[in-house]
Amino acid sequence: MDWELILYVMVSAGLLYFLYNAIRNQKDAFSSTNILKSLYTLGILALCLIAFIAYCVWMLKSSESF
């Protein structure tokens, strides 16, 4: 068996263990109100990113004529 595969399995098992403990010990972190607040914030950030990329594309198109 490849040592790299064994390392990946051990690291993923450790991350799953820490994630399981975090979820079990902090039950209020995954409440519906906190998730809705996070989704609202991520939505606002996504809209800002879309607007920024659209502005960059518009600036590139307007500079092609020179």
- Burial code (b: 16+ CB inside 10 Å, e: under 16) for 33-59 equals eeeeeeeeeeeeeeeeeeeeeeeeeee
Residue 30: pLDDT band by 50, 70, 90 thresholds?
confident
| Residue of higher predicted confidence among 35 and 27 | 35
CA-CA distance, 45 to 22, in Å (whole number)?
A: 26
Tokens representing 57 are 């594309």
* Residue 27 pLDDT > 90: no
Residue spans of alpha helices (H) in the chain: 3-25, 32-63
Model pTM score = 0.59
Q: What is the pLDDT of residue 9?
A: 96
pLDDT in tens, 10-25: 999 999 999 999 889 9
pLDDT, mean of residues 53-57? 96
